[in-house]
């Protein structure tokens, strides 16, 4: 393992493997390569530091929706301070893992990737960065950019606007921004929005939440660990018991996508819990209870978890505006009814273009095929890790692999990519592709299963432009792990 104290930059030129992205999935890929004995790789990161999502999503109140024990690497336990870690603790954890495994020395920071191009003659990839420099050749490329990296911003709020106050998307939060004594407008009611609203209510002068549609919400159960709990958690058997118990719970809940099919015991139980929580919190405000009750099935859109959002809406400082924002003025915004709202700060908690996979760079495979063109109407891949016409190109958190626990998926995909890369580096193969007929058969069956879920019920970020569900995995995590292992044995053409 490389020394964590070294800070030298990686050498330019040829390397065996390139990894694009240094968040959870990029770190999973790098450590998997090292475990497989593949040491000659370079990582590309467009941000000035390692951390991915948790480097850029640093808005007030930002924290993970999953339990800390399961939202972490299986091979790197940590002394977590909270049941659900906030962005500071997660970023510190990721950067600590990167230092321990010597990844800073292998990373080109502030180096965004613009183009990734396959050369059939040499059976290698080359990469052009955003500054125009060319890197490579590489025997394999691992894309670890995820799919929550292109912010959705209303057209009238892009570029220069008439608004004279502060305006910021949650994914590009500026550290100097403050809620203190400000009139704050929050656009959106998803996972980021509910965290922002809680902090805005605590610190701000007033808060207006602009809601197009409500989301189903469940209590999160987030809290600090007690000192006694932390002492117990430092014992590895206890730590891994808690992690495994969480895994089994998620595995059972997602068996055959039970959580996302109306009438199953899981879906029925979650709907009942969401309704009871809403009524319990809003019994004094039936008007708000009505506005906060969705018209669609639970899980049809991402279910929000929060212990504090409903309480924040009851504050005299907070107003729920059940309309979209349609325009901006120098001193605020205009909603869909034409009413003007005076604001000092506008927070865009409007989410991401989540259906647009690998959207931050252009990928050109065999026969000059561009990945964006191949995926027009909806991305698809074999178990999310490989797609036809793009040999030696592996994805982590690719199409239809969004399931819980996320990091378990990342580690499995990283291991798959690392083992394939090892064959390429060792000379046992020069070209690894997914079997096209198997890819087509797999995706047809996958879509038939997805059509039985609530994810097709309403428009949501799970769907591509054609309406096809492109992000969700409709089986349990154990089913995915088994499928990925079988794919390694039977799903690839190796030349």
Whether 472 is covered by a domain: the verdict is yes
Integer-rounded Cα radius of gyration of the chain = 23
Q: Cα torsion at 460, 466, 467, 468 (round to 10°)? A: -110
Answer yes or no: do 171 and 189 share one domain. Answer: yes
Check residue 9 and give its pLDDT.
59
Question: What are the strands of the beta sheet with 107-108, ordered from one edge?
Answer: 107-108, 41-44, 17-20, 140-143, 393-395
Beta-carbon contacts of 204 under 8 Å, excluding residues fewer than 6 positions away, are: 179, 180, 181, 182, 183, 184, 317, 345
Q: State the pLDDT at residue 36.
A: 98
- pLDDT at position 197 is 97
Q: Is residue 241 part of a domain?
A: yes
Query: How many domains is the chain partitioned into structurally?
Result: 2
320 and 258 housed in the same domain: yes
**Interatomic CA distance for residues 41 and 425, integer angstroms:** 11
Does residue 78 sit in the same domain as residue 121?
yes
Same domain, 296 and 371: no
Domain shared by 123 and 167, yes or no: no
Same domain, 132 and 259: no
- Residue 246's pLDDT is what? 97
Q: Is residue 6 part of a domain?
A: no
Domain identity same for 133 and 25: yes
Q: Please identify, among 301, 328, 348, the residue that sits at the C-terminal boundary of a domain.
A: 348
Which among 329, 348, 367 is the end of a domain?
Answer: 348
Is 81 part of any domain? yes
pLDDT at residue 5 in the model: 35
Q: Do both 137 and 242 map to the same domain?
A: no
Q: Which residue stretches of the chain have pLDDT < 70?
A: 1-12, 148
Q: Out of 321, 348, 375, pick the residue that ends a domain.
A: 348
| Nearest-angstrom CA–CA distance, 413 and 409 | 6
Residues 131 and 198 in one domain: no
Residue-wise pLDDT for 328-369, tens only, equals 999 999 999 999 999 999 999 998 777 789 989 999 999 999
Same domain, 420 and 334: no
Q: Is residue 7 part of a domain?
A: no
Is the same domain home to 185 and 326?
Answer: yes
Residue 434 gets the label, from left (phi > 0), alpha (psi -120 to 50) or beta, of beta
Residue 286 in any domain: the answer is: yes
What is the per-residue pLDDT across 34-81, written as a single tens digit (0 to 9) for each?
999 999 999 999 999 999 999 999 999 999 999 999 999 999 999 999
| Residue 393 resides in a domain | yes
Q: How far apart are CA 108 and CA 345, in angstroms?
A: 35
12 within some domain: no
Q: Is 229 helix (H, G, I), strand (E, B) or coil?
A: helix
- CATH code at position 207: 3.50.50.60
Distance CA 207, CA 281 (A): 19
* Cα torsion angle, 186, 187, 192, 194, sign: positive
- Domain, as residue range, for 331: 155-225+230-348
User: What whole-number percentage of the chain has pLDDT above 90?
Assistant: 89
306 shares its domain with 418 = no
pLDDT at 6 (0 to 100): 37
Q: What is the pLDDT of residues 153-170, one digit of tens each?
A: 888 888 889 999 999 999
């Amino acid at each position: 393992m490389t020394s964590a104290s070294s800070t030298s930059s990686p050498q330019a030129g040829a390397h065996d493997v390139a990894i694009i992205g240094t968040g959870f999935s990029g770190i999973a890929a790098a450590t998997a390569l090292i475990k497989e004995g593949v040491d000659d790789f370079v990582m590309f990161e467009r941000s000035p530091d390692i951390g991915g999502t948790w480097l850029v999503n640093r808005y007030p109140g930002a924290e993970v929706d999953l339990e800390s024990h399961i939202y972490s690497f299986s091979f790197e336990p940590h002394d977590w301070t909270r049941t659900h870690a906030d962005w500071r603790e997660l970023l510190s954890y990721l950067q600590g893992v990167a230092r321990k495994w010597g990844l800073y020395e292998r990373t080109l920071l502030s180096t965004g990737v613009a183009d990734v191009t396959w050369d059939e003659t040499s059976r290698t990839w080359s990469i052009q960065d955003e500054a125009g420099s060319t890197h490579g050749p590489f025997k394999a490329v691992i894309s670890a950019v995820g799919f929550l990296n292109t912010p959705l911003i209303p057209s009238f709020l892009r570029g220069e606007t008439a608004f004279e106050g502060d305006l910021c998307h949650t994914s590009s939060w500026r550290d100097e921004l403050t809620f203190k004594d400000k009139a704050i407008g929050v656009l959106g009611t998803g996972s980021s929005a509910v965290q922002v609203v809680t902090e805005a209510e605590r610190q701000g002068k007033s808060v207006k939440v602009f809601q197009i549609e409500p989301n189903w919400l469940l209590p999160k159960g987030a809290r600090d660990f007690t000192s006694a709990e932390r002492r117990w958690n430092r014992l590895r058997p206890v730590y891994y018991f808690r992690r495994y118990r969480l895994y089994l719970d998620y595995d059972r809940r997602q068996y055959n996508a039970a959580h996302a099919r109306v009438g199953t015991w899981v879906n029925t139980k979650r709907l009942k819990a969401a309704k009871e929580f809403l009524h319990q919190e809003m019994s004094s405000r039936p008007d708000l209870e009505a506005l906060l009750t969705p018209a669609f099935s639970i899980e049809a859109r991402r279910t929000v978890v929060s212990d504090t959002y409903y309480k924040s809406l009851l504050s005299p400082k907070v107003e729920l505006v059940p309309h979209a924002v349609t325009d901006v003025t120098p001193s605020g915004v205009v909603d869909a009814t034409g009413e003007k709202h005076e604001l000092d700060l506008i927070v865009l908690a409007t989410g991401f273009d989540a259906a647009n996979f690998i959207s931050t760079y252009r990928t050109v495979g065999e026969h000059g095929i561009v990945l964006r063109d191949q995926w027009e109407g909806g991305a698809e891949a074999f178990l999310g890790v490989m797609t036809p016409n793009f040999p030696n190109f592996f994805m982590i958190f690719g199409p239809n692999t969004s399931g819980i626990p996320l990091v378990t998926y990342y580690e499995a995909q990283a291991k798959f990519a690392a083992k394939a890369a090892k064959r390429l580096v060792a000379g046992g193969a020069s070209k690894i592709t997914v079997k096209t007929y198997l890819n087509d058969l797999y995706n047809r069956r996958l879509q038939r299963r997805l059509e039985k879920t609530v994810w097709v019920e309403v428009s949501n970020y799970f769907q591509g432009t054609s309406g096809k569900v492109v992000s969700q995995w409709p089986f349990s995590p154990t089913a995915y792990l088994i499928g990925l292992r079988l794919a390694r044995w039977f799903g690839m053409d190796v030349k």
